[in-house]
Structure 1
């Protein structure tokens, strides 16, 4: 599936969620991002600046394979890196708020209309 042309982040958001239609993909993203964030914070608190690399390495290192292996698609970050990062934060925040079902509904709706 090719990425749609989006003129705004709000247009991009439903597509981004649809590229994470399976709960397993969303949970891999959450786990990788939070693990990378925790290691980065730990390292920086200890004065080890190289630990800052943990966030992108672990975050993307777990998320991208999930797209290929679980979703069977390409990461949205390949076409829209800044909007994808913003989407990842929003998706994780939504999940941590206990509203993963909203993401599943958004993905299903976008895929039904565009898939």
Structure 2
């Protein structure tokens, strides 16, 4: 597994190019996107059905899809382990960039 996990970032703006460099494989990005879509869907279902216990599945779905992408396709260590907050923000910014057509999947 590769990656520069020892670098310290002073801002999310500085971190995001690194984050994208760790998500070059299309299958990895697709899995991130699918996981994010399922997270949004699960939130809506939990609210609509007042089944708030379903929300415990959010990290399993969100991280599960992403980590499969990293371990099996990208062959790197997820940034979540070293940069948890920036990585979470990066997931949603990448999701937005995919929806806006700025990134391919």
TM-score by length of 1: 0.82
Number of aligned residue pairs: give it.
Answer: 102
Contact 1:12 1:83 in 2 (8 A): yes
Aligned equivalent of 2:99, options 74, 96, 108: 96
Gap runs ≥5 in structure 2: none
Query: What does 1:14-29 correspond to in 2, within 5 Å?
Result: 14-29=17-32
Gap runs ≥5 in structure 1: 105-115
State the alpha-carbon separation in 1 of the partners of residues 11 and 48 from structure 2: 36
Q: CA deviation at 1:70?
A: 0.3
User: Structure 1 residue 51 and structure 2 residue 54: aligned?
Assistant: yes
Determine which structure has the larger helix proportion and give its number. 1
Q: CA deviation at 1:33?
A: 1.3
Query: What does 1:3-14 correspond to in 2, within 5 Å?
Result: 3=5, 4-14=7-17
- State the 4+ residue runs in structure 1 displaced beyond 3 angstroms: none
RMSD: 1.5
User: Structure 1 residue 79 and structure 2 residue 60: aligned?
Assistant: no
Aligned to 1:98, the other structure's residue is in SS state coil
TM-score by length of 2: 0.89
Alpha-carbon displacement from aligned partner over 1:56-110 (angstroms, at most 9, x marks no partner): 2111011112101001100011111111111110000000111215xx9xxxxxx
